[in-house]
Structures are given as structure tokens and as C-alpha cells.
Amino acid sequence: MHWNVELARRAIDPRARHQARLRERALAHLATVRDPATRAALTPDYPLFCKRVIVSDNFYDMFNRDNVTLVPRPVASVTQTGLVDVDGVERPADVLVMATGFKAASYLHGLSVRGREGRSLHDVWGTEPQAFLGICVPRFPNFFILYGPNTNGGSIIFNIERQAEWIARAVSRMARRHLGVIEVKEGAFRRYNRWVDKGNAGRSWDGGCTNYFRSPAGRIVTQWPYPLTLYAALTRVLSSALVCEGRRAR
């Protein structure tokens, strides 16, 4: 399963041949939709993986039902009897499902985290959350995040397991050396995030489509742009390289 995920992630480069092959396979499923106008409205005009991929056996078949209509226009208003689209057409509705999503790019939303000098993590981040390996932030000692910034994509479980191992090794190092504080170095943090930004540039999700991967300022803050195996290697190599500095407990 891991290597199948790695193979599929080769398509996050919109110029890759694997992107073209997977897109061709995905578009072939659209032949299930009989109405040409509906089929055209369902056809993406952006690269595969620019948005989350729908995995379903019956999604397209649903649009062939007589009691299902796809309206590819925004809702302008809600009335007592239904919904009105931007063209002014009202459609009756008994139930309205608000699938509004979640704040994926707003890490630790609703939580107050303070580091050295009482600085708020959300003030430090602003609209662009960053972390070293998606795990720790300079000037926030003994603070670790799981599934933090730029660790989404592929197998989330695989990434979280590697992060948990990295944290466990860091805490074990503190215990062995009788350290009370462990903190990522500022230089390592900045170099790492510049490298991640460079990797995200030009990926499928960095195109013109809208998605939840991007911060209000425009930075891709959720996605990991490289192979998952490389992330696993970094959590081993960078941990043993002692990029975190400790201060002996008093």
C-alpha cells in the first residue's frame, strides 16, 4: 500500500507522464454520466490533485437519476421554500446540508500556545504556519505538533507515525542527557521551510485552482511536496544529527 501511494504521488507534478496517465483514467470514468452538459460541468479544468480526489463507486451514477440535478452555480440566497442560484432560479428544498468544510490551514485553531517571553504561537505564525518537519517551532521549547504544517498528503498515518517516533527519540535524548529543554534551531527551521516551499512551487496544488492547502497570504501550508519515504528518512537523519539543541536542566 505504501509503494502504491508513492507511485500515485509522482502525479503531483502536473508535467509528469504519470499525471497524464492518471488524469486520462479519471476522465474515462466520466463516460458514466450520460448528459453531455452535466459531464462537461463535472470535468475539472485543473491538474489532478489540485483538489482532493473523490473516491466513490456511485458518485457519477447518481447524476443519471431523474431526481438529481447538478447546478454548477453558486447559491445566492435561501428562501423559506428552497434555494436561489446566482441566475435567479429557485429550486424547492426540504433539507439543506451545509458542507462547509474545516479550517485545515489554521493549525491549532482555538488553542492558546505561548513560548519564550510569552509570545503567542498564532502571533508568530500570522497567516503562514510553519514548523520544522511539521513538528516543532523555534522559541517554543518542549512543544511538539503531530500532523503539523506541510505534512499532509499521501498516507497521513504513515507521517504521524514517523513524527511520533521523532518526538519519542527527542524526549529520550532529554532523559539520557538530563536536559530540561529541547528546541529546534532557528537556522535549521528557516532552511527547512525554504526547501519545502521550493518543492511545493509548481506542484498540482500550486496552480490556479482554489483549495484549502493555501494560507490567506498564498503560501502552501498543508502539503508535503516530496516522496513520503524521504520524509521518513529526514525524521531519522535529522533527529540523529541533533538539530534540536538542549539546555541542561537546573
Look at residue 101 and tell me whether its pLDDT is greater than 80. no
Percent of the chain at pLDDT > 90 equals 59
Q: Which of 107, 157, 113 is nearest to 128 (CA)?
A: 107
In terms of CATH, what superfamily is 116-248?
Answer: FAD/NAD(P)-binding domain (3.50.50.60)
Angle at 121 between CA 250 and CA 176, to 5 degrees: 30
Look at residue 132 and tell me whether its pLDDT is greater than 70. yes
pLDDT at 249: 47
Q: Which three cell numbers stand for residue 141?
A: 521549547
Residue 2 contacts residue 158 (beta carbons within 8 Å): yes
pLDDT at 241: 45
Q: Which of 24, 56, 62 is nearest to 43 (CA)?
A: 24
**pLDDT tens string 214-235:** 888 889 999 999 999 999 999 9
pLDDT at 221: 95
Q: What is the pTM of this model?
A: 0.85
| Alpha helix positions (H), the chain | 2-9, 17-29, 36-42, 59-62, 121-125, 156-177, 186-200, 228-240
Residue 133 contacts residue 192 (beta carbons within 8 Å): yes
Range from 79-93, 162-176, 219-233 carrying the lowest mean pLDDT: 162-176
Spell out the domain ranges in the chain. Answer: 2-69, 71-99, 116-248
**pLDDT tens string 41-65:** 999 989 989 988 888 888 999 999 9
